[in-house]
Structure 1
Amino acid sequence: MPGNRAVIYRGPGHVEVEEIDYPTFELQDGPGVNPDNVGRQLPHGAVLKVIATNICGSDQHMVRGRTTAPEGLALGHEITGEVIETGRDVEFIKTGDLVSVPFNIACGRCRNCKERKTGICLNVNPDRPGSAYGYVDMGGWVGGQAEYVMVPYADWNLLKFPDRDRAMEKIVDLAMLSDIFPTGFHGAVTAGVGPGSTVYIAGAGPVGLAAATSSFLLGAAVVIVADLQEERLTQARSFGCETIDVSRGEPADQIEQILGTREVDCAVDAVGFEARGHGEQAETERPATVLNTVMDVTRAGGAVGIPGLYVTGDPGAADDAAKHGSLSLQIGLGWAKSLAFTTGQCPVMKYNRQLMMAILHDRVNIARNVNATVLPLDQAAQGYAEFDRGAAQKYVLDPHGSIA
């Protein structure tokens, strides 16, 4: 049996690559594992050799100490890999298959899964609906920023790539299918983006850039991306986006300069709970800023997609209310404009096959648009540090040197 190494959270601002147990078909006790999940038998699972595993902004929230994540947690929920072992109940997935792993863990059996709401599966997390690998309050499933990882309900969860050689040629693009590409696409779809739409996207991190890419794929006429980091705005402009530097003032004023009107058809919040203010308040954390802004700039009767992460526990928040996820929202504004809102985890399985086909048939180049940058597993700490400083890159870890 080979060894296994993984990226481990060791406290605010600190990750280490350490030896961990090789995966088995039983969920073991460990940091963050719900006691009701300890000893859970997983004959429906598969063990993967990890080909690519990405650093996500959601991981960064934990590493900054902005969640209740326990020290010792093995991180990573964006996983692409090769199946090397299957449990006795796995029927269709085979050893040797190259697969994408949706970051949502879903059973395929509960009411929500049967309704395609795989982001809120009822059977995999005793704490609440919904689960993910290597994430706080998600049941304790071991993260995939590792050499090997176990995926439960393999026949249901795994997306098999149809041709291995062709997939390896585009493996960095396909690595985005586990989370950020479907998540950005979900944000755009739920915001109502379609042919001819004008779109405002708050945040030029990887999810925001994926939402912008998705908006073009859906036929948007104008995509406006807002951020504080000039490097990230430059990346957005590299594939045709208009951009707004919110440190220079209110987005509506800058939208008017681009469109001739202060409102857009559709808006996406790709920032989440660590949002900062606009203009002179750009250096101050104001977690409700983006939500209030997207309500302000979206036309009456429009829709807002909110793939940006919001949490129920934020020990580093600026005020007591925000520490419990309570924000000062202008919900009356949203009500008065009859806006529709969609929040929560993206149900990755709703979109990942279609987006896979778009990648394989050269309809989209998501890796280029998010500036995917490959690092060996041993450089994970460097990737986290650079990402935390606002680098306009999506870091992809390559545990086995598999990516050419």
Structure 2
Amino acid sequence: MADNRVVVYKGPGEVAVEPIDYPKLEVPQEVADAMGMTVAAPHAVILKIVSTNICGSDQHMVRGRTTAPVGQTLGHEITGEVVEKGNDVQFINEGDICSVPFNIACGRCRNCNERLTGVCLNVNPARAGSAYGYVDMGGWVGGQAEYVMVPFADFNLLKFPDRDQALEKIKDLTMLSDIFPTGYHGAYCAGTTTGSTVYVAGAGPVGLAAAHSAQLLGAAVVIVGDLNDERLEQARSFGCETINVGDGGPIEEKINDILGVPEVDCAVDAVGFEASAKSGEEAPAVVLNQIQTITRAGGRLGIPGLYVTGDPGAPDEDAKEGTLKIRFGLGWAKSHFFYTGQCPVKKYNRGLMMSILHDKAQIAKAVNATVISLDDAPEGYKDFDKGAAKKYVIDPHGMIPA
């Protein structure tokens, strides 16, 4: 039996790569017991990980900003080669290289049938929706590993049509598991279309993916705001306008300097609950209020940035349970459309795959994909936490071409 290793949360600011059992074709016991399903999972496959990425959502856990316990396995951005499959897997075969949506979905419940795979009703006893290697998401083992089990494989997996082409473009295709669909979801739900002016709050990987997606959707101008100059430089590298939101003056004036008007057609919050004010102090509602202020009346707000119901490190008691001081009256007065929640990856990943395979999207360049080994994952987490303008792609088996 092959060995396996996985990245594990060891406490605030610390992760380690540790041995773990080789996966079995089984669902977590807690899911089986609560949901009335068998532990045995003939619908599942085991993947040899080709690439798995470090995500800002992982970083929230590693900073101690969730209720994740020590020992939580990490990693939900997974691309892999099928090395074993259950006897109920009909259309995926050993040797196939596939993208894994970070949403675990059964493909059978009402929400899955309505394409709301981010809130599947059958894979998490705690709430609707699940993910690999994430707190309160059903106990599924994380994919920053050498091998991982994927349930309901025929439904969940996106098979790449050609193995050699997939490996050649793997640094782009690895983004299909989360940040490319998530960024696209934010821009799409914000109503981005031909000629739109778009503001993206946050120049981390999801913000950069949202900005690139807005360009694919036909935006005339994409403005990215952040406090990190290195990340803003990365946004400029593929044609975005940028604003350092910490450099004095109201943001409306800075937008006016770019567009000639102080408002945009639509906005995307790619920051989430760990947002900071100009002073550097944490202010979890600041971005939500900012995008309401700068979006025109009748405009839309896409909010893929993560917000949580439990944040032990929040600046006040309300924020610790996800209760934020949002200027909802302003949004109401401006007839804003708010769209929040996990991206339903399967809604977008096939189309975005085709955009990559036919050279219409260059997401790896947009987010500065940077390949590291599994052993280098702890250092990657530290660099990412310091604000590195990179998207770290872990290569556990040396399969990514130089």
Distance in 2, matches of 1:359 and 1:76, equals 23
Which amino acid in structure 1 is aligned with residue 50 of structure 2? I
Shift of 1:34: 9.1
Shift of 1:39: 6.9
Counterpart of 1:223?
A: 222
Distance in 1, matches of 2:39 and 2:244, equals 49
Counterpart of 1:258?
A: 258
Which amino acid in structure 2 is aligned with residue 349 of structure 1? K
Provide Cα deviations, 1:350-392, integer angstroms capped at 9, x if missing partner: 0000000000000011001100000000000010000000000
Distance in 1, matches of 2:200 and 2:213, equals 11
Mean Cα deviation higher: 260-269 or 39-48: 39-48
Provide Cα deviations, 1:138-194, integer angstroms capped at 9, x if missing partner: 001100000000000000000000011111100010000000000000000000000
The correspondence of residues 4-403 of structure 1 with structure 2, limited to 5 A, is: 4-28=4-28, 36=34, 40-249=39-248, 250-278=250-278, 281=279, 283-403=280-400
Distance in 1, matches of 2:268 and 2:204, equals 13
Change (3 A) 1:34 1:375: farther
8 A Cα contact 1:34 1:126, kept in partner? no
Provide Cα deviations, 1:116-141, integer angstroms capped at 9, x if missing partner: 00000000001000000000100011
Gaps of 5+ in 1: none
Shift of 1:248: 1.2
Which amino acid in structure 1 is aligned with residue 46 of structure 2? V
Distance in 1, matches of 2:33 and 2:308, equals 22
Which amino acid in structure 1 is aligned with residue 260 of structure 2? G
8 A Cα contact 1:266 1:304, kept in partner? yes
Gaps of 5+ in 2: none
Q: Percent identity?
A: 69
Distance in 2, matches of 1:28 and 1:117, equals 22
Distance in 2, matches of 1:35 and 1:18, equals 28
Provide Cα deviations, 1:192-236, integer angstroms capped at 9, x if missing partner: 000000000000000000000000000000000000000000000
Shift of 1:41: 2.5
Aligned residue for 2:11, secondary structure, equals coil
Provide Cα deviations, 1:57-112, integer angstroms capped at 9, x if missing partner: 00000000000001111100000000000011111111110000000000000000
Mean Cα deviation higher: 247-256 or 388-397: 247-256
Aligned residue for 1:225, secondary structure, equals strand
Mean Cα deviation higher: 34-43 or 238-247: 34-43
8 A Cα contact 2:25 2:42, kept in partner? yes
Which amino acid in structure 1 is aligned with residue 362 of structure 2? N
8 A Cα contact 2:32 2:39, kept in partner? no
Which amino acid in structure 2 is aligned with residue 388 of structure 1? D
Distance in 2, matches of 1:187 and 1:296, equals 18
Mean Cα deviation higher: 40-49 or 381-390: 40-49
Shift of 1:40: 2.6
Shift of 1:28: 4.6
Change (3 A) 1:168 1:26: same
Aligned residue for 1:329, secondary structure, equals coil
RMSD of aligned residue pairs (Cα, Å): 1.3
8 A Cα contact 1:14 1:63, kept in partner? yes
Distance in 1, matches of 2:251 and 2:102, equals 32
Distance in 2, matches of 1:35 and 1:273, equals 33
Which amino acid in structure 2 is aligned with residue 300 of structure 1? A
Change (3 A) 1:28 1:123: closer
TM-score (norm 2): 0.98
Shift of 1:251: 1.7
Distance in 1, matches of 2:64 and 2:361, equals 35
Change (3 A) 1:376 1:45: same
8 A Cα contact 2:197 2:219, kept in partner? yes
